[in-house]
Structure 1
Amino acid sequence: MQFRQLEYFVALAREQHFARAAAACYVSQPALSEAIRKLERELGVPLVRRGSSFEGLTPEGERLVLGARRILAERESLEHEVAALHTGLTGELRIGVIPAATTAIADRVDPFCAAHPLVRLRIESALRSADIVERLRRFELDIGILYTQGVDTTGLVKRPLYDEQHVLVVGNDLLPGRTGAATWADIAELPMCLLHKGMRGRDRIDEAATAHGVTITPRLEADSISTLLAFVSRGGWASIVPRVWVQRRGAPTDFRVVELEDEALSGHVALVRVDVEPASVLVKAFEDMAMVLAAPPASGRITSSKPEA
């Protein structure tokens, strides 16, 4: 069994297509097919269900692909560790981030990049918490920044980063005369724009609204908080976003910030990684830096510089 055979097999499992897998591995399709057939002969079991095209993995193949991903991840980790002895940290770090945490991750990425200039980072920031966990288990991501409530993180290492709170942001012409916190009944009457249903940040809003006996039906949905804020800034929309997103902007002039009536949307954001020891040197370096940096403020109040009507 060779690393090359495992790479081809993992690529086929990912691409679900012989030609695409071969292209991803920069080899011809016959070469990839023959390498996988040789792997099957060595193991004495069929790994791929074949017809006129790829039809999926056999039960043996499904089990092998999990081990193959782990082996390849451990090999890459060893290569990074050896390289670090000579030139400092190198390689690529793959980070999956929920939309709500993208501003917080920036505070950690900048100093990490400054400390390790040879490391490349690939950040995917429109992912659900459950999707991040699944991709961590498939070794397609190295680190996840996500909500851990209601998500199965069995077999993963969790490091709490910060507690998150939410605020209502509204166009300057909405909720005129409002001086106190917004009730959920108020929110249900507003022209709302929210994250897509199924994203954990959106689901938490729906759960909090239901707990207060109301249903929020947004007129617009998006997969990023920056998109929501862009619409709110135009004046005719409202949304509910993590407080840290507003704090990064300072006192806004293009919309107003209104407190919620309770702390129903407080939650925990954590750094999550696969429980492999020793951990990748890249993962460990990022994790250590993330833990020593100050958490973003969660309870500070933001006031709009525009007087209320």
Structure 2
Amino acid sequence: MLRLAASWVWDFWIADDGDRYHLYFLKASRALLDPNRRHWRATIGHATSTDLTTWTEHADAVIPDDSPAFDDMATWTGSVVRQDDGTWRMFYTAVSRSEGGLAQRISSVVSDDLFTWRREAGRQVIEPDARWYETIDTRQWPDQAWRDPWVFQHDGEWHMLITARANHGDPDDRGVIGHATSPDLTTWTVQPPLSQPGAGFGHLEVVQTIDVDGKPIGLFSCLGSELSNARRAQDPIGGVWAFPTDSPTGPFDTARSYRLTDEQLYVGRLVQDRSGSWQLLAFRNDDDNGGWVGEISDPRPVGWVDGQLRLHGSEAAPAEPLRVGS
């Protein structure tokens, strides 16, 4: 478990150098007192582990840039991949002071060793394409959703999955999985979304697609308060969700999503331990009394049960996922 005395920690992502796991996570000072204030003070912390359980904290990986800049207010969730030359690239979400944090963008930094990260001159800043997605000017949501990049290579091309919202549909039901592609990790083209609105989610946060024991699966997170009205009327509880897929690049039928955990855990990430077993890590969100926690859980083993991914030892999920919308 990762719990910091001085800071809350929440969204996170993991890079594996073969010897150690590198955990990157959002953090903000507990001196803020109110955890709802954390988002605008977030930096990207760093810790390492050999077993996914005992973590050693290091200096922060990324902090907001000097003003004026597109990332001068806060740096949010991302992912890390290794480039062909052996260096590492971290993609992250950025918000700026000039827009009050309402517009979200995606960019990247690079590192030789996973400890020291540097911004590049002329790096691309990836923004939503208004042909398919809500923007800051057309949004029907508190902010422009364009964040949480999950980057991976498939069939010789780099793909980025993004928390996004379609530019059509009921305002409470526009959550989609955004998409961008690149031949080289530096030049990106925004593509149409890989899922459709109307699946029951206002947004799908921190998407991950990955093969678990040879079967592709997708994960995302959505709180009960951010489900569509129709889905909430059937079941008001949110948390970490899973959805079946035939390919890590979609298309995805997120209306078939089923809940993997309740809201005590959030931002679930699947990672393989050194024995080859699959584990779920998440941040501890709500305690038994509904209070916010802000720490990273110990790994919990997962496996397939009747065609659905489950936490070992958890109660069985519904045999059929909820279906709402069209």
Higher RCO structure (Cα 8 Å, ≥6 apart): 1
Structure (1/2) with the larger strand percentage: 2
How would you bin the TM-score normalised by the shorter chain?
A: under 0.3
Q: Counting helix residues as a fraction of each chain, which structure ranks higher? A: 1
Query: TM (normalized to structure 1)?
Result: 0.25
Q: Please identify the structure whose Cα radius of gyration is greater.
A: 1
